[in-house]
């Protein structure tokens, strides 16, 4: 079997000028990106504080006024002259690595920059009503002091509600609650003609409710969302367990760290949070967390680790110490645990600033971290951007839980990227077949981690420079991503579209299901107003002519039915 063969032997790659620019890019990051990032973080924080001073009633009034402005703007659009609708946000501001090339073509902008307020924290209904530009750092500052949190809190501070809904959002609690979009109970959407609707799973817009996730804002403009809250405690009791073996052994150890047998519900042994980091082909650390009270955490003999301090070791490196000292347990303040990967951007910070993990840098300059992803993108030209697409991997592979060992073997052979991040999530059976959906008949297989109503999936996070690149060998990043996408299609996996995609249109709709999405685009007037999700995600610059032609074409739904 090809996946079990030894890694390929590749010839050495000749260095070009871009290699040296990337090698010394830390100079720009230190003297330009970090100071500006810190200033922007501080100004954003002041804006959030100013918003918190306003009453919920005043925030809702401002929201209603801003919605009217969006409606008016859409009504001003002349379909025969103006381009397709998209937001006015600059292309480089998005956190995702995908190039926002569709904004280089003629388009009609709608400004949503004012939609950055938490409109309400309803402790009776256990709902947080948020505008789309509310980020994870902002929402946890508001909810954690109340011993509440979103059911799924994505790890990076800058990730926004709108991006996590229209795109993809996951966290260590997703094995209990599903993806971020699965925790939403209502969307407020402005449709193409300026009509404002509230979509829920059981009202007249239920089809739209289920079609919004993964649609990349191509069905309408999201202006608010009502999101499920859960009760939490002050600390996370985190257990670090080292695992060793071949990659298949590591994959199975990860599965066994949290997944009960088929159909088991409310098992006290199932943790509140799960993640595993694979550090090389033979070693990993499984982490499982349980919420704990302040009283429990402060009992004699318990260790409290405030990982949020700027001088603390980066989280992934701290977790790696379990490989040398064995299994250990500690208590982390809950909000600091939620954002444990923010300061080092998982482990990408090591490539951006090779010495930023050293003790002297952390103590002297760690308070400046992390650099804003948007500024990193803004300070790179096309040559640097193309270099990263070829010599660097930032991809997530969403695969059925039982196929995790296969996925780890594939990544080890084809990319040799380490560390790897493993995070489980439920993929629910829904009343509609959405763009992402469980394997047909999964409930009949009675596999570990599955239930009758949801199949357990895992995000295999592949973020770093591949082994061949680090060794100075030839590596074709675009071809590697194409092979990864083909592997996902063959194994009923999915690729989040924040990343750079090499999918052509046929393969895009083989990976994702087009039925409900296309039905809603036609029903709610998105065709001819909003770009289709494929052309929004497609790699490369797009002209207005190309997009308009694409709008006239009908997706061949049978693509979505192929496995």
The string of pLDDT tens digits covering residues 511-562 is 999 999 999 999 999 988 888 898 888 776 666 566 666 555 444 443 444 4
Residue 238: its pLDDT value, please?
A: 98
The pLDDT mean for the chain works out to: 90
Q: Which of 206-215, 263-272, 423-432, 474-483 has the lowest mean pLDDT?
A: 263-272
The continuous run of DSSP H or E covering 226 comes out as strand 221-231
Q: In sequence order, what DSSP letters do the residues of 164-179 get, joined into one string?
A: HHHT----TTHHHH-S
Distance CA 239, CA 226 (A): 33
10: pLDDT confidence band, cut at 50, 70 and 90? Answer: confident
Distances (CA, A) of 176 to 180, 199, 267: 11, 24, 11
Neighbours of 379 (CB within 10 A): 16
Establish whether the linkage from the previous residue to 419 is cis, with ω within 30° of 0. Answer: yes
SS3 396: strand
Tell me the CA end-to-end span of the chain in Å, nearest whole number: 21
Q: Which of 83-87, 192-196, 250-254 has the lowest mean pLDDT?
A: 83-87
The answer to whether 344 touches 159, Cβ cutoff 8 Å, is no
91: pLDDT confidence band, cut at 50, 70 and 90? Answer: low
Distance CA 360, CA 366 (A): 9
Q: Which of 166-180, 187-201, 520-534 has the lowest mean pLDDT?
A: 520-534
Check pLDDT > 70 for residue 92: no
- pLDDT tens-digit series, residues 335-368: 999 999 999 999 999 988 999 999 999 999 999 9
Q: Which of 101-115, 344-358, 444-458 has the lowest mean pLDDT?
A: 101-115
Residue with the larger pLDDT of the pair 386 and 256: 256
Q: Quick one: DSSP state of residue 95?
A: S
Distance CA 551, CA 450 (A): 39
Residues 175-200 have a mean pLDDT of 96
Structure tokens at 315: 């989280």
93: pLDDT confidence band, cut at 50, 70 and 90? Answer: low
Q: Which of 70-74, 83-87, 233-237 has the lowest mean pLDDT?
A: 83-87
Residue 83: its pLDDT value, please?
A: 76
Place of tokens 């990993």: 284
Residue 535: its pLDDT value, please?
A: 82
Residues 237-258 have a mean pLDDT of 97
Q: Which of 90-104, 150-164, 404-418, 444-458 has the lowest mean pLDDT?
A: 90-104
12: pLDDT confidence band, cut at 50, 70 and 90? Answer: confident
Residue 375: its pLDDT value, please?
A: 86
The proportion of the chain whose per-residue pLDDT surpasses 70, expressed as a percent, equals: 91
Residue with the larger pLDDT of the pair 11 and 180: 180
30: pLDDT confidence band, cut at 50, 70 and 90? Answer: very high
269: pLDDT confidence band, cut at 50, 70 and 90? Answer: confident
Residue 21: its pLDDT value, please?
A: 82
Residue 275: its pLDDT value, please?
A: 97
Phi, psi of 482 (to 5 degrees): -60, -45
431: pLDDT confidence band, cut at 50, 70 and 90? Answer: very high
The proportion of the chain whose per-residue pLDDT surpasses 90, expressed as a percent, equals: 72
Residue 105: its pLDDT value, please?
A: 61
Residues 44-60 have a mean pLDDT of 91
Residues 190-216 have a mean pLDDT of 95
Residue 551: its pLDDT value, please?
A: 52
122: pLDDT confidence band, cut at 50, 70 and 90? Answer: very high
Residue 553: its pLDDT value, please?
A: 47
């Amino acid at each position: 079997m090809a996946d079990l063969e030894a890694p390929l032997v590749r010839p050495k790659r000749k260095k070009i000028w871009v290699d040296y620019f990337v090698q010394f890019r830390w100079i720009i990051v230190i003297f330009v990106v970090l100071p500006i990032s810190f200033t922007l973080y501080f100004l954003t924080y002041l804006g959030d504080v100013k918003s918190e001073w306003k009453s919920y009633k005043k925030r809702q009034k401002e929201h209603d006024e801003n919605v009217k402005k969006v409606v008016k703007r859409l009504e001003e659009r002349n379909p025969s002259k103006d381009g397709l609708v998209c937001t006015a946000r600059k292309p480089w501001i998005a956190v995702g690595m995908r190039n926002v090339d569709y904004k280089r073509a003629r388009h009609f902008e709608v400004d949503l920059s004012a939609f950055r307020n938490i409109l309400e924290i309803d402790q009776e209904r256990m709902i947080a009503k948020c505008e789309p530009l509310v980020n994870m750092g902002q929402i946890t500052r508001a909810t954690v002091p109340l011993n509440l949190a979103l059911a799924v809190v994505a790890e990076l501070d800058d990730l926004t509600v709108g991006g996590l809904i229209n795109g993809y959002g996951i966290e260590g609690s997703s094995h209990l609650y599903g993806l971020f979009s699965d925790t939403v109970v209502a969307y407020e959407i402005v449709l193409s003609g300026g009509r404002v609707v509230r979509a829920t799973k059981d009202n007249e817009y239920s089809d739209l409710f289920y079609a919004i996730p993964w649609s990349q804002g191509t069905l309408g403009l999201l202006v608010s969302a009502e999101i499920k809250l859960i009760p939490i405690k002050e600390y996370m009791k985190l257990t670090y367990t080292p695992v060793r073996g071949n990659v298949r052994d590591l994959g199975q150890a990860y599965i066994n760290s949290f997944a009960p047998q088929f159909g088991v519900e409310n098992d006290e042994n199932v943790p509140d949070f799960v993640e595993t980091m694979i550090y090389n082909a033979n070693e990993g650390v499984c982490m499982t967390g349980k919420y704990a009270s302040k009283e429990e955490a402060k009992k004699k003999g318990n260790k409290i680790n405030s990982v949020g301090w700027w001088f603390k070791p980066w989280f992934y490196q701290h977790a790696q110490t379990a490989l040398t000292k064995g299994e250990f347990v500690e208590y982390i303040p809950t909000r600091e645990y939620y954002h444990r990967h923010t300061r080092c951007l998982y482990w990408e910070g090591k490539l951006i600033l090779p010495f930023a993990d050293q003790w002297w840098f952390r103590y002297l300059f760690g308070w400046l971290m992390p650099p804003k992803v948007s500024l990193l993108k803004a300070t790179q030209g096309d040559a640097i951007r193309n270099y990263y697409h070829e010599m660097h991997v930032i991809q997530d592979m969403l695969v059925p839980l039982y196929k995790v060992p296969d996925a780890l073997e594939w990544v080890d052979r084809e990319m040799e990227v380490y560390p790897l991040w493993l995070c489980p999530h439920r993929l629910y059976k829904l009343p509609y077949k959405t763009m992402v959906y469980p394997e047909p008949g999964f409930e009949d297989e009675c596999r570990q981690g599955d239930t009758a109503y949801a199949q357990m999936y895992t995000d295999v996070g592949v973020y770093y420079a591949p082994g061949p690149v680090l060794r100075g060998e030839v590596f074709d990043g675009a071809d590697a991503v194409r092979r990864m996408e083909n592997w996902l299609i063959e194994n009923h996996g999915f690729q989040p579209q924040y990343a750079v995609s090499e999918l052509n249109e046929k393969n895009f709709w083989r990976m994702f299901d087009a039925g409900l999405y296309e039905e809603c685009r036609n029903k709610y007037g998105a065709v001819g107003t909003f770009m289709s999700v494929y052309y929004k995600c497609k790699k490369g610059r797009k002209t207005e002519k190309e997009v308009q032609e694409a709008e006239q074409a009908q997706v061949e739904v049978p693509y979505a039915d192929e496995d």
